[in-house]
């Protein structure tokens, strides 16, 4: 079985997707982490993020995999654990630029489809239902208000020890929403066959139960 989860930054889709996968015994694939890992590597190497050719070469050469730890999933980029490094402000600011590159998306979609070929999966991102798993049995679009998503991201960054400015953070997330929605390939959108879950006023457990009820696993 394939479960596709799309939605904007900070809506809670990754947290919920992980919990669904754990509940159902499926493999969880965080496609956003894959783009973040590539972005992190590009920043490390000083690559111009607007140089499509350089990004495409990098994407082809980069090995990204997920490793299950005791209580979470680790992101491994070319043998290095980058789970924390890919959640830092520099990557947050740059990932939409990398993810908007059509060649990068083509390469990454192929990698993601290969990961989903032999297992039941829960996969989350921006264009999973449309581009990566168009044949998914269940497609969800998880969203929340901009204000709530900013609040959640601020708490996440503060927990990591980063100072935050709520106005700058709101502008950054709003800009990312616009970039994600307007890019020519893999744009964030609500598909006609997607089930929309608004988590603005739901706890994670409430959102999880709502989705499990829809899937039929209680």
Q: Is the pLDDT of residue 147 over 60?
A: yes
Domain coordinates in residue numbering, the chain? 2-211
SS3 of the chain: helix, strand, coil, percent, to 5: 50, 15, 30
- CATH code: domain 2-211 is 3.40.50.300
Of the candidates 107, 145, 139, the residue with the CA atom closest to the CA atom of residue 126:
139
| Burial class of 189 by CB neighbour count within 10 A (0 to 12, 13 to 18, 19+) | middle
The predicted pLDDT at position 218 comes to 44
> If DSSP codes are grouped into helix, strand and coil, which group holds residue 173?
helix
How confident is residue 213, by pLDDT bands cut at 50, 70 and 90? very high
pTM above 0.95, yes or no: no
Residue 56 in tokens: 């495409």
Residue 96 in tokens: 């939409």
Quick: pLDDT tens for 99-125: 989 999 999 999 999 989 888 999 998
Quick: pLDDT tens for 61-88: 999 988 877 777 899 999 999 999 999 9
Average pLDDT over residues 193-212: 95
């Amino acid at each position: 079985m394939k479960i596709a989860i799309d939605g904007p930054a900070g809506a809670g889709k990754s947290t919920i997707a992980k919990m669904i996968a754990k509940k159902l015994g499926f493999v969880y694939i965080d496609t956003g982490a894959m783009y973040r890992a590539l972005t992190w590597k590009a920043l490390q190497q000083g690559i111009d993020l607007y140089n499509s050719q350089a990004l495409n070469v990098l994407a082809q050469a980069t090995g990204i995999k997920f490793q299950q730890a005791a209580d979470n999933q680790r992101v491994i980029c070319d043998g290095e654990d980058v789970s924390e490094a890919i959640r830092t402000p520099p990557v947050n600011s740059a990932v939409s630029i990398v993810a908007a590159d059509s060649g990068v998306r083509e390469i990454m979609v192929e990698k993601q489809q290969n990961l989903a070929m032999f297992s039941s999966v829960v996969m989350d991102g921006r264009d999973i239902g449309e581009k990566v798993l168009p044949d998914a049995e269940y497609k969800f679009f998880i969203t929340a208000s901009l204000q709530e998503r900013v609040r959640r991201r601020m708490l996440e960054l503060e927990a990591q020890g980063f100072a935050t400015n709520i106005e700058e953070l709101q502008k950054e997330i709003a800009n990312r929403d616009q970039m994600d929605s307007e890019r020519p390939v893999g744009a964030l959108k609500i598909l006609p066959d997607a089930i929309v879950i608004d988590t603005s006023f739901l706890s994670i457990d409430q959102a999880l139960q709502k989705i499990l009820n829809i899937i039929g696993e209680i």
